[in-house]
A and B are shown apart, each in its own frame.
Chain A
Amino acid sequence: MSEYRLEMKGIVKEFLSMRALDNAEFRLKAGEVHALLGINGAGKSTLIKVLSGVYIKDAGEILIDGEKVSINSPADAIKAGISTVYQDPQVIPSFTGYENIYLGSENDKKNVLSPMSRKELRQKAIELLKEFPLDVDLDKPVYMLSAIEKEIIAVLRALSKRTNILILDEPTSILTEKEKQILFDLVRLLKSKGVSIIYITHHLDEVSEICDAMTVFRNGQTVAQLPVEQGKVNSELIAELMLGKKLVQLYPHKAEKPGTDVLFEAQDLNLEGKFEHISFQAKKGEIYGIFGLVGSGIDEISKVLFGAMYKSSGQLVVHGKPLELKSTAHAIKSGIYLVPGDRKAEGQIGGLPIATNITLAKLQRVINKLGLVLRKKENSYAEDMVKQLAIATPSIKKKVGELSGGNQQKVVIGKGLFTEADIYIFTEPTVGVDVGAKSGIYEIMRQLSKDAAVIIISSDCEEVLGMADRVQVIYKGKCTFRSAAKDTTLSQMLVHAVTADAPSEQAV
């Protein structure tokens, strides 16, 4: 019998030419709650997907209880006793809790016309609940349940199968403080029953509260594996581990003097259930940064600023005048442009050529009086934009979907530049962008900020601090920290993004 329930050795996973996992190591003991830490893109979710059979590893081996196993599909993972509860668990909204728990395993028969008994399922679910006493109404359709109850249903679904290793992927991102405690009780209970838990999180306070050990990832590699002593997590040290000491000169110089005119101001913006009391000023000549973890409400903030989502209350002031945004068209007309967070779904039209994408948001500039697009004019504008942004493409006729991530993002930015806006909001501007293109995009943003107000909203702490002149940090929809960037350290930002009650150093 091995000391470890699970060992992953020398795991390699490549996407195109990028190494998402580079000789990653991971060890998990029986009955242990093990935190997996790392910034976005560090490789933790890739590791989990390899373990749960969603991705097939390129190299390395996985051992369970000292024996080598091959996991090539989700079914293999389940057979090996590994269950995953994803960040946003997939459920059937109108089905009851117990129906969702046993979806796909209603009975043991292969024939889909074989009878199933809901009574029996309910009974089985009640038995399961006896084993794991949790407060959840299994008879209600799950759309009526709260976030934690859905989470519990998803955990129970995992537990209804023979599970030795349970993966919880950022389980608390949508939970309230009280709900979090319910989840932690469950985790402790599972632990006492000998289930090993891999706990992925950004929240260091959670690590100190329930985890026994942690592994920190950076750039696809395991950088540290440490035990956790209750209540004693050195957040400064961990932040350093997560970020590394690299900080090469990826970012352009900061603004030399503070910004001048306030072009854009948010006053006490609220969106029920997503964020509250968000206020800031964006000035011409500088970059304003908003940092928060995925799910902290930053994506919704960016959409409200662009009129793509209705706010519950609050006020936007644009060019000194209050502005009630009615639509995205209205926002663009008012000189605001958003580079949306989800590039593939919201930013680019992958099936259309570069030129068409670039001119799309302000076609008025390339049409004649009859509304016909002047192709020569359009093409020359597009050529200029491609040159200006250094988009690597053989032709402006190439479909955007066929470009690399960095170049796709540049097209989306080019679409914004073409609108000649003077307020630019960049949400997650470098997700899925390789390092070379990253610095190019940063340079563009800095250039833009000379004549416009630029706002960067991102879950990449380094990026926000590296780019912005002033920053604020969002934790669960609320601002927890604001300061001038030059007076702020990375770990300071990170700490405020993961806890509400970090030691407060007051600043600007």
Chain B
Amino acid sequence: MEQAKKKRISDEVFTIIIFSVLFLAVFFTFAMLNKNFASVINILNILKHVSVVAIAALGLTFVIAVDHADISFYMSSCFSAMLMAWLIAKGWHPVVCILAGIVAGCCWGLVSGIAVGKFKLPDKISTIAIGSIAFGAAYLFSDGAFIYTNFPSSGITSLNNARIVGIPLPVIIMLALYFLAYMVLERSKYGRQFYAIGANRKAAFFSGINVNKVIVISFVICGGMAAMAAMITTAAQGNGNVKSGLTLLMPCFSAVFIGNAVFRKPSVIGTFLGAVFTSMVQNGFTLMSVPFYISDLVVALLLIVAILSSKFELSSVGKKSAAAKGKAVAAQ
């Protein structure tokens, strides 16, 4: 008994060690291959680059924490981006535009959340449908064309360019959101409820948690965060691009699931490390002028390796026979 406990802990630690080694190895490899890589400017660059994915993935973490999946967030972020750009073109104050975009993102999340949490529709398929409707609705504003009007004069681009004590604003926004999310998910009452539902929905229900409500909230958070990611993309690109969010799906799922694999639960820190890791790889390859598709390939492979490594058990050889025996019985 005592021995079994020890082993399990070291299995978990082992995964974290593997990940850290991998992380450092990748970092130093790139640093050696390219002397610009480890510079402060580039590290800030990586963080700035990661902020979009990291924020969207952060929202997704909440949905994964309640053991659901959301495939609408990256499409609803396109809607939010276009709504913001359209309002900017109409001459509204950027703050209003951003707020409207975030509210819109939350609304799409609410629709998904109600479909899944309240009406118990299968999460993946119904969010694909709702996301697609959101994506279609994003074409309402300009029929799919880029929106540039008013962008330079509205001041929204300063969201991207501004720095506070030398740190780019998107990075600060990201860190602030991560801090908030950390407090909510890991420290607050609500976080407990998210994890309880994810770990055992029925037992959470018998503990007096309003399961359906929390599930709906997780989708709303996911939609809202996706809108914030869209806000940063829009500010960075200086235009409203209807397809801005379409590249988010894989990196976000990778970030959350790499974090999930390392810490054995969907967590704020895990998602952050997952996002930074994938972004670092992409940035490293970009500096070496390797085309984007190679880094995409590497990200996909990393996702597989990360999850595989969490399934790997120390001294699996010795355990195998016992596990196989247990399985034979369990399978019945």
Contact = CB atoms under 8 A, between A and B. Distances in A.
B is bound to A: yes
Contacts of B183: 372
Interface stretch (B160-168, B194-202, B234-242): B194-202
Contacts of A340: 203, 206
B5 A402 contact: yes
Nearest to B184: A371
Given A367-B189, A372-B183, A361 B208 contact: yes
B188 A372 contact: yes
Contacts of B196: 349, 352, 356, 360
Contacts of B188: 367, 370-373
Nearest to B187: A372
A328 interface: yes
Given A345-B203, A356-B192, A329 B329 contact: no
Most chain A CB inside 10 Å of its own CB: which residue of B203, B207, B210: B207
A348 B203 contact: yes
* Range, interface on chain A: 35 or more
B190 interface: yes
Nearest to B191: A373
B204 A349 contact: yes
Contacts of A74: 332
B39 to A, nearest CB: 38
B216 to A, nearest CB: 15
A352 B329 contact: no
A41 interface: no
Contacts of B210: 327, 329
Given A328-B205, A361-B207, A351 B199 contact: yes
Interface string B127-150: 000000000000000000000000
A338 interface: yes
Contact of B200 (A333, A338, A351, A367): A351
A331 B208 contact: yes
B209 interface: yes
Interface string A351-377: 110001001111110010011110000
Nearest to A327: B210
A308 B332 contact: no
B40 interface: no
A71 to B, nearest CB: 12
A327 B210 CA distance: 8
Contact of B195 (A350, A352, A367, A402): A352
Interface of A: 53-56, 73-74, 306, 308, 327-329, 331-333, 338, 340, 345-352, 356, 359-364, 367, 370-373, 402, 415, 419
Shortest Cβ-Cβ A-B pairs, 5 listed: A332-B208, A363-B189, A361-B207, A329-B208, A351-B199
Given A363-B189, A371-B189, A373-B192, 7 more contacts: A56-B329, A328-B206, A349-B196, A367-B188, A372-B187, A373-B189, A402-B5
25 contacts: A54-B329, A54-B332, A74-B332, A308-B206, A327-B210, A329-B208, A329-B210, A332-B207, A332-B208, A338-B206, A346-B203, A346-B206, A352-B196, A359-B192, A361-B207, A362-B208, A363-B189, A363-B192, A367-B188, A367-B189, A370-B188, A371-B188, A371-B190, A372-B187, A372-B188
